[in-house]
Structure 1
Amino acid sequence: MTERTGYQDIAGRLAREIAVLEPGSKISSEHELMERFGVGRASARAAVQELERRGMVRRIRGSGTFVNRRIDYLISKDLRPSWQRTVRAVGATSRSTVLLSEVRPAPEHSARYLGVGPETPVHHMRRLRYVDDRVAALADEWVTCDVVTELGAALRIEESLDELLRQLGRVDSVRSWCRAGMELPDDDVCRALDMTTVAPVWVIESINRDADTGTAVTYSKAWMRADVIRVVMEIGDHIPCRTEEGKS
């Protein structure tokens, strides 16, 4: 049995066992896998890394490896652009931690996306987002100051930016543009997301506008852990239906 076949065989057997376990269940350590399957540390580690690549397990520094639960994060023009509402819609819990909140001149890219002049003062926030108490995403958000004047203090009371804009700015925020892709994060993002290994993450950029005026009110860029979130995008005017012949 080659080293490659060995770790893939171990990963396959563990995957079948994990499929019937509850999310959060702890799985065997690398040392225990070495003893159970009679392999070296390299094969045991590669098997766990393969399960992590599949999104089936997650590793927590100093605690071990656990059965993972990955949720679908749906992006659609028909849904309110709210992290909290989207996460809760799939039965998961959501919370956010504010890492930074300040009013500052808009960076060039943010000013362009928001349709304001360079150096125009905007609210800038950086927040760490959690799903079921797991670090899931890091987000930078820029909000035009003419929509709402005080934002930092309000975020300590209401976590949903979408809800705050509705309450304080009387803004009916809708998603008008979105770009999604995957990339390898830099060291700062890896540390913020508590990633034990460098792996591709979802990168989501969005512009939200006021439905009534068409004015851009927020621009955001988020890095989402792919082992916690599966990004799903729905594009189109309606859900396709099947005809009598069984064709869509």
Structure 2
Amino acid sequence: MSATRYLEIAERLSAELAECARGTRVASEAEIARRFGVGRAAARAAVQELERRFVVRRTQGSGTFVNRRIDYVISRSVPPSWSATIAAAGATPRALVKSVRTIPLPAHLADRFERPAGSPVHEVVREFYIDDLLASWVHEWIPVDEVPHLDLALHAVDSVDQVLRQTVRVRPMRAWCRVSIDVPPTEVLRVLRMESSQPAWLVESVSRDEAIGDVLMCSRTWTRADAVRVVVELDERAATGADAGTPRRAITPQ
């Protein structure tokens, strides 16, 4: 038998599963082995290949199911709202606030905020769900003087972007963003129920008020790579937009 037989099986299954709805149960390794006349090892390798391609997702104790990633678009022309971005991609977003507390601004964020270390900021920790899948673990920092009662506002609206727009009457926009992919720390792996070898997207972002340039929020988000594909779009506003003439102090990535 060819050493690449499992790849041929994976290609065949991938084409078939493309016609199936998200969440459809995938045949077991034993069923795949019988269908293609191969051993369990080849069937297991084929399923593992589908998982590497994000075509399927395994749920411990439940089985293997058809997976569908959505595009998470990051652009200067797209508001920095996680919920709105997920909804625009055709999925159902949900945010769960784990904690909101007031802390002194950490020194490593002072340059990004253009404020002295120790200034009071809200630290918000949230879980984000996509179609009921726990997909992201998020830390956000917002100056207290921008939204003094953020904890109360998040009880009514689960989007920080909406709170800023409706309460403070500002228009947040991404001013700086860094995207990477890596294996998350142990705490994030546990929260997102990921295996120790699974990579995830790390998106670090700074949002400003589009009108006057004040820093409104810094965020750090870990997201399952099997849930979204991060798409970064560059547009002309980065060089020629309406805010091009607004003076900015440089943001120093940490």
Shift of 1:8: 1.5
Flag the 1:43–1:176 CA change in 2: closer, same or farther, 3 A.
same
Flag the 1:60–1:156 CA change in 2: closer, same or farther, 3 A.
farther
Instruction: Please say if residues 139 and 220 of structure 2, whose CA atoms lie closer than 8 Å, have aligned partners that are also in contact.
Output: yes
Shift of 1:232: 0.9
1:161 aligns with 2:160: yes
Shift of 1:174: 1.2
Where structure 1 has 5 or more consecutive residues not aligned to the other structure, the ranges are: 239-248
1:5 aligns with 2:9: no
TM-score between both structures, scaled by the size of structure 2: 0.87
Which residue of 1 is the match for residue 75 of structure 2?
76
Shift of 1:126: 1.4
SS at match of 2:142: strand
Shift of 1:106: 1.8
Instruction: Please say if residues 183 and 196 of structure 2, whose CA atoms lie closer than 8 Å, have aligned partners that are also in contact.
Output: no
Which residue of 1 is the match for residue 25 of structure 2?
26
Which residue of 2 is the match for residue 244 of structure 1?
none
SS at match of 1:156: helix
Shift of 1:41: 3.9
Instruction: Please say if residues 7 and 43 of structure 1, whose CA atoms lie closer than 8 Å, have aligned partners that are also in contact.
Output: yes
2:12 counterpart letter in structure 1: R
Alignment of 1:232-247 (within 5 A): 232-237=231-236
Which residue of 1 is the match for residue 197 of structure 2?
198
Which residue of 1 is the match for residue 218 of structure 2?
219
1:200 counterpart letter in structure 2: P
Which residue of 2 is the match for residue 246 of structure 1?
none
TM-score between both structures, scaled by the size of structure 1: 0.89
Instruction: Please say if residues 77 and 235 of structure 2, whose CA atoms lie closer than 8 Å, have aligned partners that are also in contact.
Output: no
1:23 counterpart letter in structure 2: R
Shift of 1:215: 1.0
SS at match of 2:5: helix
Please give the per-residue CA displacement for 1:178-224, whole angstroms capped at 9, x wherever unaligned.
11111111222112112246222111111001122211110001111
Shift of 1:39: 3.9
Which residue of 2 is the match for residue 133 of structure 1?
132
User: Using the alignment, how far apart are the partners of 2:44 and 2:172 within structure 1?
Assistant: 46
- RMSD between aligned alpha carbons? 1.7
User: Using the alignment, how far apart are the partners of 2:42 and 2:127 within structure 1?
Assistant: 34
SS at match of 1:123: strand
Where structure 2 has 5 or more consecutive residues not aligned to the other structure, the ranges are: 238-254
SS at match of 1:136: strand
User: Using the alignment, how far apart are the partners of 1:105 and 1:37 within structure 2?
Assistant: 61
Which residue of 1 is the match for residue 14 of structure 2?
15
1:187 aligns with 2:159: no
Which residue of 2 is the match for residue 101 of structure 1?
100
Which residue of 2 is the match for residue 144 of structure 1?
143
Q: Percent identity?
A: 46
User: Using the alignment, how far apart are the partners of 2:105 and 2:111 within structure 1?
Assistant: 9
Instruction: Please say if residues 84 and 160 of structure 1, whose CA atoms lie closer than 8 Å, have aligned partners that are also in contact.
Output: yes
1:115 aligns with 2:110: no
Which residue of 2 is the match for residue 64 of structure 1?
63
User: Using the alignment, how far apart are the partners of 1:12 and 1:113 within structure 2?
Assistant: 46
Flag the 1:45–1:187 CA change in 2: closer, same or farther, 3 A.
farther
Shift of 1:27: 0.3
1:190 counterpart letter in structure 2: L
Please give the per-residue CA displacement for 1:113-172, whole angstroms capped at 9, x wherever unaligned.
111211222111111111111122111101011101111232122111100011222222
Instruction: Please say if residues 101 and 124 of structure 1, whose CA atoms lie closer than 8 Å, have aligned partners that are also in contact.
Output: yes
Flag the 1:36–1:208 CA change in 2: closer, same or farther, 3 A.
same
2:216 counterpart letter in structure 1: V
